[in-house]
Amino acid sequence: MEIIAVANQKGGVGKSTTAHALGAGLRGRGHRVLFIDLDPQTNLTFIMGADPEGPTSYEVLEGEATAAEAIQHQPSGDIIPASPVLNRANLEVKRAGNEYRLRDAIRPVKKEYDYIIIDTPPALSILTVGALTASDSVIIPAQADILSLQGISQLHDTIQAIQQTSNPLLSIKGILLTRHNARAILSRDLTQVTNRIAIQLGTIVYNTVIREGIAIKEAQASQQDIYSYAPRANPTRDYIAFIDELLGIK
């Protein structure tokens, strides 16, 4: 059983897209998967057709509902949805031990799943800290642009702090380049920079890159996973290859 957070402190890098594609891909291979949406933007919740009115991850963190009570069994998978009121979490969840709330809350349901995929907000917050404290590992989606790379560095500082305090076993699985355009000279140059950053962080850049494609947005608008909506699209092929690489399948 593995808990994987998908995180980057820079928005617009395909974080929710990657969380959904990862979980849906693992589910399509027969694994039992639970999605947890901790992003107040509720993108993953929308994509999976879940109800953001509750109980949601906010109620779970506040102790107003158990994880089992918050799980919604959607056709596309099991999810603890998010709610926009998660924006209040930073103001309300400031008691001692708050970073352990998610970890403790999901402990009773862990045995029901092979993977738990956590989508995090694009900012450093108690929600991100709680997700990383609860996780075994983190995948960092990033674009080959300078602001995205800056987000990786900021996230690494957060991960190091968490490794030294609340979760010493947390590891960085790797950096996944998304919305990639191999023809762009700047993109190629920054890909090389990303590899150097990965070495400094003690992790890897996945060989697979996720190409830009309209099929992703169309699939999300229709609340379908990319594999069902457009099985032959370039981003679909890329996410399949990414999951193969993640699982060590050659």
Give the pLDDT band of residue 47 (cuts 50, 70, 90): very high
- One-letter amino acid identity for 226? I
Greatest mean pLDDT among 3-17, 150-164, 173-187, 230-244 lies in 230-244
CATH code: domain of residue 143 = 3.40.50.300
Spatial CA neighbour of 129 closest among 173, 97, 84, 151: 97
Residues 197-207, mean pLDDT to the nearest whole number: 86
Total number of domains in the chain: 1
Q: Tell me, what's the pLDDT at 14?
A: 84
> In the prediction, which pLDDT does 241 show?
96
Rounded distance between C-alpha atoms, residue 246 and residue 250, angstroms? 10
- Quote the pLDDT of residue 54: 79
Residue 233: closest CA among 217, 249, 250: 217
pLDDT cut 90: percent of the chain above it: 64
Mean pLDDT of 180-189: 59
- pLDDT value at 91 more than 60: no
Residue 59 lies in domain: 2-247
